[in-house]
Amino acid sequence: MDMQTCSDEFEKLIFRMTTPRVVIDNAVCPSATLVKVDSARKHGILLEAVQVLTDLNLSIKKAYISSDGRWFMDVFHVTDLYGNKLTDESVISYMEQSLGCIHYTTKNGHNIHYTSTSRHNGLTALELTGTDRIGLLSEVFAVLADLQCNIVDAKVWTHHGRFVSLIYVKDYDSGSQIEDSTRIETIVSRLMPVLKGDDDIRSAKTTVSMAVTYTERRLHQMMFADRDSDTTPIILPSRSDPPVVTVQNWTQRGYSVVNIQCRDRTKLLFDVVCTLTDMEYVVFHATVNTEGDLACLEFYIKHTNGTTINSDIEMKRVIQSIQAAIERRDTQGVRLELCTEDRPGLLADVTRTFRENGLNVTRAEISTSGDTALNIFYVTDAEGYPAKPKMVEAVREKIGPSNLKVKELPSILPQKVERDEPGTSVGGAMLQSLGSLVRRNLYNLGLIRSYS
């Protein structure tokens, strides 16, 4: 056997060893689709698996995560946003392909996985950080319109008085990526004073990148780097109860245990796992349970070097970071959906109308499909209360009632709870026996008949 044949056979062996095994089952659970994944354990692979489910806007009702040595096993109970099991074969096929490719690296060194970032190829990414204020988004979009930047996609988050945005742009005339260094310097110099404002409590930041990135993870990283969790919380009247997070060390087993209780919503698990991963923690075991609109999550974690959380300061940092990650996506205000023909300066005009009518944008999701703009805005009044109907109607009249519509906020639909253990309360942030946890996970994976 020649060297090339040996190399090819070795590549095939590596592929079989590193490719996750994926099973999607609609028969076991009456109310949810089971997604089972088992693979070699690598740092970040849990996040990639959750990211696939997040990209499909699936609701994770339950999850059981367990790793043993170099192998990990996950079971997710998922539904669509309407609480239904997954029946669309194209969605199931996409999920199987995507989960089957997470964290596989070819001999050329390229990671293969399916993500939504491919639509951002050939675009220039602007990363903006600053102090939030009413009208800030309007000013940012006005600058970009004046500089002949066409906004293709964007996401905006605000939290604790801070503002972050990831905006993907291209040149109006050529329709291509903006690469000219002089023009990029002009964009940065025009945006910096807008982001700083008159009373900037921290340094504003503007970064230009040609690289493709996963937008929502990057927004978490930007907020984390800006230390939004350290800022004195701004208590808004529309804010729901804050999440309850506790951290304890289980010294005998060598784990730190994180317990979370909060309102359930889509992408909750992604936000928490994303934060733990970027803080260089490894999740070895975890459970997620939901009942109605309440979610309870428990994670057994270690540092990447195998140690537990070793100080009260670090413990506090973990608690604050997880709370901030959950709150960043918490919906505030009235949801407005804009669907209209895209044109230069559209977003500058729309957000200026918001500002002139006293509406503050707390979160935004901007996208385009062909010649159509599909944009979502969450708006409050100047004091943080949900915008009054008269204010919203005044804005709709100016923009066009058929183009700008008020939508109900998406919510988690309640579902019958399948209790794992009789008499077990969904609440309670107390340590469990690791052996019991692992046995329950193996039971839900279908690897043993009973965990009692």
List Cα–Cα distances, 378 to 156, 191, 335, 365, in angstroms. Answer: 10, 23, 5, 9
Q: What is the pLDDT of residue 106?
A: 37
For residue 413, being part of any structural domain is answered with: no
The answer on 223 and 343 residing in a single domain is yes
Domain shared by 274 and 397, yes or no = no
Tokens 């800022």 appear where? 231
Q: Residue 239: its pLDDT value, please?
A: 55
pLDDT at 156: 97
Is 110 a domain residue? yes
Closest by Cα among 105, 78, 103 to 24 = 78
pLDDT higher at 2 or 217: 217
pLDDT category of residue 71 using cuts at 50, 70 and 90? confident
Query: Would you say residue 6 lies in a domain?
Result: no
Residue-wise pLDDT for 227-260, tens only, equals: 888 866 555 555 567 899 999 999 899 999 999 9
Mean pLDDT over 211-230 rounds to 88
Assess whether 440 and 375 both reside in one domain: no
Shared domain for 312 and 370, answered yes or no, is no
- The pLDDT assigned to 115 comes to 42
Q: Which helix (H) or strand (E) holds 297?
A: strand 294-303
Asked if residue 241 is part of any domain, the answer here is no
**pLDDT average, residue stretch 123-152:** 96
d(CA 324, CA 271): 10
Residue 3 forms part of a structural domain: no
Indicate the pLDDT class of residue 72, thresholds 50, 70 and 90: confident
Residues 339, 277, single domain; the answer is no
Q: Are residues 386 and 445 both part of a single domain?
A: no
Range of the domain at 372: 124-234+331-407
* Least-confidence region, from 27-36, 104-113, 178-187: 104-113
Distance separating alpha carbons of residues 73 and 66, to the nearest angstrom: 5
Out of 125-134, 285-294, 430-439, pick the least confident. 430-439
Side-chain-side CA neighbours of residue 344 (13 Å)? 12
pLDDT at 43 over 70: yes
61 and 195 housed in the same domain: no
Indicate whether 1 belongs to any domain.
no
Give the C-alpha separation, 139 to 198, whole Å: 14
The pLDDT value recorded for residue 395 is 97
Number of domains in the chain: 2
CATH code where residue 220 lies? 3.30.70.260
Q: How far is CA 293 from CA 261, 326, 386, 415, in A?
A: 11, 15, 21, 9
Question: Could you read off the pLDDT of 286-299 as tens digits, one per residue?
Answer: 999 999 899 999 99
Give DSSP secondary structure letters for 142-193.
Answer: HHHHHTTEEEEEEEEEEETTEEEEEEEEEETTT-S----HHHHHHHHHHHHH
Write out pLDDT tens, residues 316-354: 999 999 999 999 998 778 999 999 999 999 999 999 999
Closest CA to 192 of 204, 202, 180: 204
Q: What is the mean pLDDT of residues 147-174?
A: 95
Checking if the pLDDT of 65 tops 70, the result is yes
Supply the pTM of this predicted model.
0.84
Asked if residue 359 has pLDDT above 60, the reply is yes
Residues 354 and 435 in one domain: no
Question: Do 110 and 44 belong together in one domain?
Answer: yes
What pLDDT score was predicted for residue 237? 53
Residues 106-110: what's their mean pLDDT? Answer: 37
User: In terms of pLDDT, which residue wins out, 170 or 330?
Assistant: 170
Judge contact between 259 and 297, C-beta under 8 A.
Answer: yes
pLDDT given for residue 236 in this prediction: 54
Q: At what angle do helices 181-196 and 136-146 cross, to 10 degrees?
A: 160
Q: Is residue 381 part of a domain?
A: yes
User: Which of these three, 407, 428, 443, is where a domain ends?
Assistant: 407
The number of CA neighbours under 13 Å toward the Cβ of 33 is 22
**How high is the mean pLDDT of the chain?**
84
295 and 366: one domain?
no
Which distant-in-sequence residues (6+ apart) come within 8 Å of 201 by Cβ? Answer: 131, 161, 231
Q: With H, G, I as helix, E, B as strand and everything else as coil, classify residue 416.
A: coil
Q: Give domain status of residue 60, yes or no.
A: yes
Among 3-7, 75-79, 161-165, 445-449, the minimum mean pLDDT is found in: 445-449
DSSP one-letter code for 19: S
**pLDDT for 79:** 97
Whether the pLDDT of residue 7 is over 90: the answer is no
The whole-number pLDDT of residue 118 equals 61
Does 314 lie in the same domain as 285? yes
Judge whether residue 47 has pLDDT over 60.
Answer: yes
Q: Note the pLDDT of residue 145.
A: 97
Based on the domain organization, do 403 and 423 belong to the same domain?
A: no
Q: Of all residues in the chain, what percent carry a pLDDT higher than 90? A: 66
